[in-house]
A and B are shown apart, each in its own frame.
Chain A
Amino acid sequence: DIVMTQSPDSLAVSLGERATINCKSSQSVLYSSNKKNYLAWYQQKPGQPPKLLIYWASTRESGVPDRFSGSGSGTDFTLTISSLRAEDVAVYYCQHYYGTPITFGQGTRLEIK
């Protein structure tokens, strides 16, 4: 099984500052035939289901603000929030879909400093 490891576990950032969350997979999730990284990012606020932010490692879901961006390839990925807003307080998860079982990272809790 592919193990997804996020860092840090929690993060406190000032409003307007950049937040960076890392995700590392135990094996590459880059599919050689189509050159796509099978990785997604989600945001989960308290009492709500997760919300898709990014798929194929760097494609932003429709309606997601452009301050959210995804990058990386192979085994190392990053979710960046360019200018933190109060409504971005949440837990963020990465997820691979390079076959089953699908697995998630343990989550990163983002708070305001």
Chain B
Amino acid sequence: QEQLVESGGGVVQSGRSLRLSCVASGFTFSSYSMHWVRQAPGKGLEWVAVISNDGTNKYYSDSVKGRFSISRDNSQNTLYLQMNSLGVEDTAVYFCARDWGYGSGTYFVSWGQGTLITVSS
């Protein structure tokens, strides 16, 4: 059974940094692209970033480009999201999700339960 478990959420002041982690199990982590998707309270889904299976290719939404960095450690089956210069607009539940394939991103086959980031002013 596939499982994705996010951690690292919490309350952080505006302008500070935070790193999220997502530990994967139940599938061959190194074979698939991985994503971060977020959802502000009471709002819809927003794609944040994707990283290819080998970590070579990374793509970001315009809203986080230059502030967030996605990475992975295939030896530890772990996905990361380094978030810098956080603003109140980054307040959301952050989900990690497994892609169907290994490239620049397709659809999301499985999702974690999410971790809540609250940015205070």
Contacts and interface: CB of A to CB of B under 8 A. Distances in A.
Contact of B106 (A42, A44, A61, A97): A97
B45 interface: yes
A65 interface: no
Interface in B35-76: 35, 44-47, 50, 59, 61-62
- The CB with the most chain A CB atoms within 10 A, among B45, B62, B106, is that of B45
A93 interface: yes
B77 to A, nearest CB: 19
A100 B112 contact: no
A103 B110 CA distance: 17
A95 interface: yes
Interface string A80-101: 0000000000000101010111
B102 interface: no
- The CB with the most chain B CB atoms within 10 A, among A93, A97, A102, is that of A102
Contact of B105 (A55, A93, A97): A97
A19 interface: no
A103 B45 CA distance: 8
Contact of B62 (A40, A42, A101): A101
A101 B47 contact: yes
Given A49-B113, A100-B50, A101-B47, A95 B107 contact: yes
Nearest to A107: B44
A71 interface: no
A104 B44 contact: yes
Interface of A: 1, 38, 40, 42, 44, 48-52, 55, 61, 93, 95, 97, 99-107
17 contacts: A38-B106, A40-B107, A40-B108, A44-B45, A48-B113, A49-B111, A49-B112, A49-B114, A50-B45, A50-B108, A100-B104, A101-B47, A101-B61, A102-B35, A102-B47, A104-B45, A106-B44
The 10 A-B residue pairs with the shortest CB-CB distance, nearest first, are A49-B111, A40-B107, A102-B47, A100-B59, A104-B45, A97-B106, A107-B44, A55-B107, A101-B61, A106-B44
